[in-house]
Amino acid sequence: MAKYDFDTVIDRRGTGAMKYDALNELFGRNDITPMWIADMEFAAAPEITEAIMRRFAHPVYGYAYTPDSYWDSVRSWLMRRHGFSVEKEELAFVPGIVRAIAYAVNFFTAPGDKIVIQPPVYHPFRMVAEGNGRVVVENPLIPSPQGDTYIMDLPGLERVFAQERPKLMILCNPHNPAGIQWSRETLAAVGSLARKYGVIVVSDEIHGDLMLYGRRHVPFLDAGEDAAAVGIAFGAPSKTFNIPGLVSSWAVVRNPQIREPFYKWLEVNEFSAPNFTATTATEAAYNHGEEWLDSLIPYLEENIEAVERFFQQKCPRIKVMRPQASFLVWLDCRGLGMSQDELVSFFVNDARLALNSGTMFGSQGEGFMRLNIAQPRASLLEVLESIALASVEVNA
């Protein structure tokens, strides 16, 4: 028997899980299977649960101090998994990636300043920028000629930098929703352009540990001198180990001119002060979770292949964009010939599934839906059957 179990269905309703308990509020009904927000239906590695339980068994929950062993675990993980060498002073704790992006937006830009995003992209990038009174400028990704991935528009990026004079760019590396890995060359080119035009690049690397099919993550700060000079990277064990509810993330900044004032501001505001659950879980994950992760990745790959086979055989009008990283699958549903509202209603009311609508990620997501495949394979296959059934009924 495999050491780690990804096949058992775990009932999460009533546990304060956003994915389940917010269904009615967000999708208008409860009798649907959630395949939307990006957490997984798997139990965390037992090594993490044991470490947290051990800490909670001690009955004094006083103020936390971050031990050196926490910083060592992050540094050692980045070196082992990504060949990314980071000094302790280059690291800071941050309580969640979206919050960290919001800190950077607030610290490095002022209301009215321009911020570049590359849609279709993780929707909080726009929400954080606009919610803080900044102006979003888009450099949309270009669909590849084969329609199997997206390409970054580097000439477009230079035009946007030159014409709009943004202060900051928010990069998604790897890129959610389509799970794209950016090559070292592409990242280096972004770094060079950003340095030329004086733009700070915030690189969200939350999906970086979940590279698929033998790929290796390229940290933005490791993609050449220019990237290192302009970059602020945020990463976390949260997606990797399915512990986003514990709210533990980190920042890496190489350039002291960016790092020192930013980290000081985080510190005086106590934005970078962790609680002990976060540091305990992170240490356990990075020091003892590697085997769990190495078992998870092939499971995710096989789920993706099962999804591909399913749509090819049973619902060929929906095309699967194979992700290069993570557990989110970008479905091209344009072949169904529905408007976006019809598409959302088809999934919610006919197939009884809650997926993310493609247009959440920008107007470029029209005709697309994002499917979370991180769940036990048997229940995933069952869910897919309900799409096939609904599409037959809709076309009958």
286 binds ligand PLP per the rule CB under 6 A? no
Rounded Cα–Cα distance for residues 26 and 132 (Å): 24
Q: How far is the CB of 171 from ligand PLP (least distance, A)?
A: 10
Sole residue written with tokens 């470029």: 364
Q: Select from 95-103, 179-187, 259-267, 337-345 the region that touches ligand PLP (CB under 6 A).
A: 95-103
Give φ, ψ of 17 to 5 degrees. -90, 120
Residues 236, 281, 300, 354: which binds ligand PLP (CB under 6 A)? Answer: 236
In Å, the largest CA–CA distance within the chain is 63
Cα Rg of the chain (Å, integer): 21
Non-local CB neighbours of 107 within 8 Å, separated by 6+ positions: 261, 262, 265
Q: How far is the CB of 248 from ligand PLP (least distance, A)?
A: 8
Rounded Cα–Cα distance for residues 286 and 235 (Å): 13
Per-residue contact flags (x/-) with ligand PLP for residues 196 to 235, judged by CB under 6 A: --------x-x-----------------------------
Size of the site for ligand PLP (CB under 6 A): 13
Q: Residues 234, 206: contact at Cβ < 8 Å?
A: yes
Sole residue written with tokens 């960290």: 100
Residues 103, 122, 286, 310: which binds ligand PLP (CB under 6 A)? Answer: 122
Per-residue contact flags (x/-) with ligand PLP for residues 237 to 276, judged by CB under 6 A: -x-----x----x---------------------------
Q: Residues 116, 166: contact at Cβ < 8 Å?
A: yes
377-395 vs 290-314: helix crossing angle, rounded to 10: 20
Using left for φ > 0, alpha for ψ between -120 and 50, and beta otherwise, residue 368 falls in beta
Q: Select from 93-101, 261-269, 346-354, 355-363 the region that touches ligand PLP (CB under 6 A).
A: 93-101
Residues 32, 51, 86, 97: which binds ligand PLP (CB under 6 A)? Answer: 97
Per-residue contact flags (x/-) with ligand PLP for residues 31 to 60, judged by CB under 6 A: -------x----------------------
Contact positions vs ligand PLP (CB under 6 A): 38, 96-98, 122, 172, 176, 204, 206, 236, 238, 244, 249
